Chain A
Amino acid sequence: MSEYSCLIVEDSPMMRQLLVFALARVKNLRVTEADDGVDGLRKLASARYDIIVTDINMPIMDGLKLVKRVRSDPVHKDTPIVIITTEGSQEDRQRALQLGANAYITKPIQAPQVIATVKELLRID
């Protein structure tokens, strides 16, 4: 059975903990945490990930810049990206999807929704 790896990029320790809890429900998914966009890029440079879950509003480098950088990275240009944010407007959603995000989840998050989205993007039953 194949194993998948997920990178969570989120500056809030509470949200990271919550996402780790939620994604622990996905079988064979190994989760790595990053504190912000820069930390995320550092981790993406040192390993290959099957999916990235990122917040938008973060210090140093926000989630949208991270999405742009990931899409220009030959190793991760096709890696599915899930945006998790408090911004619920249609314009924010469109902007994130235009930049190359694959899914958009608004806070407060529901663990089943996060799990279903990650499973769908990784094509796990």
Chain B
Amino acid sequence: MAEDKKTSDSNSPPADFKSERDRFVKSFTRGSRLTDEFIQDYEQLLERLAVLEAENGSLHAQVAADRAVRDLVQKIERLEAEKTDLLSRTNRAEAITNQFTTRVQEVESEFSNLANLYVASNQLHSSLSPRGVTRRIKEVLAQLVGAERYSMYLANEDGTELVPIASEGVPGGDLLPVSVAGSRLGDVLKKGEAVVEEDSDPSRGALDRPAAVIPLVVDERVVGVIAIFSTLSQKTRFDAVDFELFRLLGQHAAQALVSASLFAQAERRLPGLEAFLDLSV
């Protein structure tokens, strides 16, 4: 028994070995735990690295995309500027075109007015018979001015009355001599200035309130008047060309009529050459 005890004692490791072993085991266990922790940390770091690399890749892609977007934005801005410039140029071109179109319309209108005046003048002087001249005066009034009811008067010798010599659309009973004193027609004869109702519709004119009264002049003397009582229903105002026609009629109608009357009185004989020899021109 004592020997067993002795053996047992001899087999048991020395106490410092035991404590050494314990320390070793302890140390090993701690090392193992640290290793586990290291491995765990390492794996976490690997995961973090993968995440960061992914983030990095994403950021790179984003930067590239941002650059592309910036390029596109710059391109859009450039195109917008070009578009603005083109629009501005188009607007300028349109404004010029509009100006040009307006000018062309004005020229065409002016041409039309001049054509009216030329034709009226040409027609007034294309006849040497009083009837022919009267017919042409009436044509100018009806066709060019658009007069529907009108009358032409000449003053009598002492200038006290205006006597109707031609008319259209006026009942015979209304075609009477008009006293110069105290009448609208007489006022125009005395003053030599046309009177035109510019503020009212000339198609609604009346015998006692003519739409226009035009003085007829021969050699700077007022010898009669044309009274336009009313115009055609579609002619609701006088235009600039009408005022030119009134002027032309005033200056040429009576002259043409007087020339035609003198020619008729001379039995349509042309004056001899001697009538032109002492003109001193």
Contacts and interface: CB of A to CB of B under 8 A. Distances in A.
Interface in A101-125: 106-108, 110-112, 115
A17 to B, nearest CB: 5
A107 B108 contact: no
Nearest to B120: A14
A18 B111 contact: no
A86 interface: yes
Contacts of B119: 14, 17-18, 21
Interface stretch (B23-31, B33-41, B232-240): B232-240
B228 to A, nearest CB: 12
Contact of A25 (B111, B142, B145): B111
A108 B112 contact: no
Contact of A107 (B109, B111, B118, B143): B143
A46 interface: no
Interface in B88-139: 105, 108-109, 111-112, 115-116, 118-120, 122-123, 136, 139
Chain A contact residues (Cβ within 8 angstroms of B): what range?
A: 10 to 19
A55 to B, nearest CB: 10
A14 B123 contact: yes
A59 interface: no
A89 B233 contact: yes
B146 interface: yes
Contacts of B232: 86, 88, 106-108
Interface in A1-31: 12-15, 17-18, 21-22, 25
B115 A14 contact: no
A111 B115 contact: yes
A25 B115 CA distance: 11
B140 interface: yes
Given A22-B112, A110-B112, A12 B105 contact: no
B109 A112 contact: yes
Contacts of A112: 105, 108-109, 112
B116 to A, nearest CB: 7
Contact of B143 (A12, A21, A22, A110): A12
Contacts of B122: 17
Contacts of A111: 108, 111-112, 115-116
Interface of B: 105, 108-109, 111-112, 115-116, 118-120, 122-123, 136, 139-140, 142-146, 232-235
Interface of A: 12-15, 17-18, 21-22, 25, 86, 88-89, 106-108, 110-112, 115
